[in-house]
Structure 1
């Protein structure tokens, strides 16, 4: 049998062989260079991780996260042990970076604001925003830009705030009337007031009046307090707040979404159903009125504004789903910070009566004792605002700010921050940072007063603590939230003297184990301190 000749050149042409040899030489050269030139310490690396946490394959540190609840306390404890102001945890394939340094925080939210202008995808935010139709909780994109324009220009502009002044005054008056009724129920010695209920009731009333032009979903109580409908609605709002970005396992491993392994999805769905039960019929009725010629009438509230907005073609600018989702977001954004700050501040001030005296002396000097506080007085109440700032610093309502997501690889303070990382600025770590604050665990409003007597503001541009955040994703309702906070403080400190109940020697300042609220709602003895004719009549 004749042998068959094998011509290699037919299968491996010379140019191909030359290219293959060049590739092999190139790879060998790279390996040789890397072997003899190891990475220097100057090359950026990830922020430090706890030495005790070696990430598991695929799941990262999710097992440790599950066994160390609440997660925020576990993270802060590990950072304290590491003596670091920035740390990196890997949950699934997501790098979660916690920051407690003001300088690093400014690097993230000011110097590189555009890089960290997005939000994480999560079960809770998808549900709350009806599939990312709102402004604050949605990822960076056109929908966020659209809704931010609507809120900034149409809802929270200075002109719109002046237009809504009367509604805010009505609710400030109602707050005083409600607490006054509590005082008079018992005796001339005053009455015991659940401060948490009063503060949360005021905050939800203000935003409810601004949006729906109504104080109650039901009839309310005879003394002016919230009825069962309002109590259920407020409880649902705070449940939603508790579970937004609450370190849910499936948020870091999308393949587990729908299984609801930790029950958070069911909880937040139930809370949203409660809020929708009270609000959506009002929104749908407003749409029906608008279609019947409501556009010829003057708007009465923010819902009228939202329903009547039109695009350049004369078509509705917002769908009913967008409006429903945005109203949910507005309400959860306005109820927590002011109410929590006042409850904590009053608890601290009752334990330090000299602070209460300073605040009431300022109020009597600026306002007098023959009328209630007006919004025009608030800019002159530096000590009262200092008390609010100190409450925000020492007793934030949540452990972290709303997460920011890096939209590209970047470097911060010579640390490599991969694209898709979740950056959490620690409200607790910033406000209680011993490198920044003298006696950080002591409530001292004086630390916020300016030597030159200039005006105190609630915002904190240097991020030594967080009130309303900053940058592209900062709160667009800073003016409204500041007004609500300072009015809450001013009206209740001016109108009433406060003390602990007779059976207590001091207010227990224990923090809740799973949250940052007072472990037990503050019950305080309130007594009118102004002439009777000053208080609003029922």
Structure 2
């Protein structure tokens, strides 16, 4: 009996003791790294109550207390927040592969076709295919040059619309006018047709749909942070997102049907959808798109291509009307380079350093997507001596970086001149200078960064060259922001435009 007990001890207990001893020794020799600092938050809700009403601003204030890298729980989800150029570089450059995926939230699941689009798809063969087709046939420099006539014709329509408002003594609602023009430019490139009439009900509905998407995507949806509460739809966001998805899907289905009916009219001049449909006919497996991929990609292009650029242009107008000396300097440069006998051409932009500086300064101070789009880690990693668990969501606070006094002198001042001399003049928005990353950086940098900058520079340059602008009497320029995925103005800016070029320039 005694021998049996000793045998059992030898067989089972001694190895267990040895394992425990080795584990204890290993833990003592190499203690686990700590998580980054951050607020403790509340049970279940975590730090969610700290983020209202403007999450980017709230997180920027928290970073002043906890540092440029924070870790906090939002509901049951773990988030890392980067608030300095160095930390952003560490996440989006050094750890780029580990953070190449995006988490699918409820907005992406509904409007983004459950991650079957370019913006929300996992990093992999399908995403690479969507990215390549978008760059080659729509967003890259080569593709962009092929549909310059569409941009020119729609910009001329925009100018004529402003002239018409001037003749009738009416002001211009800048954001709506620019958004509609951008939608039609993209419609010509994507579907070979203008998609909205000047003042039609369809145009107004599209604008409201895009604004609703950007607003809902930036609101705190409890289901994104506490999935077990999704069925409650506490703040009604889920219901509104599903309604929006039905509207967008109906619009995309109709556009694709009408596009197919006019295939014979294009006579070999292919648009973006033609190239996408050709992929379906000629490919198979991972190299072939689905109808859902195409719908999701078109939604991406219309939402990202219209709202972000129009918001940037509206903020530029806001700053220039608040700083009239900057507007006058920009107009003087335009007059010296172009004169007053013709309109701006895209080929003029490289010769307009002050216009380029204005656009950089607007993107610095008013980052279009202030928290960038979220990333998610696919494995545990280490950064600056801190442990980042697998499944951590990453937010890069571009807004905080752009307003950091340790990075920018007088960051709350609108000062385009800072980009005209010294090392700051060399800073670009291509994703390599982490002081200014309005389009993100790394593998998931915005595919439309080149086109987005061209839109902002050419449209803003044209409108301030062709017209003088004045706020309505008694109306002050305000800088109030509105919560959302994009950094919208709370109060859309409306201004009167007066022609300043020779009459022949407008024909």
Q: Normalising by the residue count of structure 1, what TM-score does the alignment of the two structures yield?
A: 0.86
2:226 pairs with 1:233: no
- In structure 2, what is the equivalent of residue 147 of structure 1? 130
Is 1:20 the equivalent of 2:13?
A: yes
Matched, 1:501 2:472: yes
Alignment match, 2:182: 203
What is the CA–CA distance in structure 1 between the aligned matches of 2:53 and 2:440, rounded to whole Å? 26
- State the number of aligned residues: 505
Q: What is the aligned partner in structure 2 of residue 346 from structure 1?
A: 317
- Do the aligned partners of 1:124 and 1:244 also contact (CA within 8 Å) in 2? yes
- Match for residue 272 of structure 2? 302
**Offset at 1:428?**
1.4
Do the aligned residues in 2 keep the contact of 1:394 with 1:431 (CA within 8 Å)?
A: yes
Could you tell me which residue of structure 2 aligns to residue 250 of structure 1? 223
In the TM superposition, what is the alpha-carbon distance from 1:317 to its structure 2 partner? 3.5
Give the alignment partner of residue 34 of structure 2, picking from 45, 50, 54: 45
Q: Which residue of 1 aligns with 2:95?
A: 112
Counterpart pick for 1:271 among 207, 223, 244: 244
Does the aligned pair in 1 maintain the 2:471–2:494 contact within 8 Å? yes
Aligned mate of 1:519, from 469, 484, 490: 490
Structure having the higher Rg: 1
CA shift in 2, pair 1:23/1:138, >3 Å: same
**TM-score when scaled to structure 2?**
0.91
The structure in which a higher percent of residues are helix is: 2
The alpha-carbon deviation at position 29 of structure 1 amounts to 5.8
Deviation track 1:180-225 (CA, whole Å, cap 9, x = no partner) reads: 2111212xxxx421122222222222212221222244xx3xxxx3
Partner of 1:3: none
Equivalent position SS for 2:437: coil
Structure 2 Cα separation of the partners of residues 355 and 182 of structure 1: 25
Query: Is 1:165 aligned to residue 144 of structure 2?
Result: no
2:62 aligned with 1:89, yes or no? no
What are the ranges of 5 or more consecutive residues in structure 1 without an aligned counterpart? 1-5
Q: Alpha-carbon deviation of 1:437? A: 0.8
Q: Compute the displacement of 1:388 (Å).
A: 1.0
Q: Which runs of 5+ in 2 are unaligned?
A: none
SS, match of residue 150 in structure 2: helix
CA distance in 1 between partners of 2:492 and 2:257 (Å)? 36
Tell me: CA distance 1:418–1:29, structure 2 relative to 1, closer, same or farther (3 Å).
closer
RMSD: 2.8
Q: Which residue does 1:128 correspond to in 2?
A: 111
Which sits farther off after the overlay, 526-535 or 134-143? 134-143
SS in 1 for 2:482: coil
- 3-state SS, counterpart of residue 489 of structure 2: coil
Structure 1 residue 445 displacement after superposition: 0.6
CA distance, structure 2, for counterparts of residue 304 and residue 30 of structure 1? 61
CA distance in 1, matches of 2:59, 2:425: 38
From 460, 470, 479, the counterpart of 1:489: 460
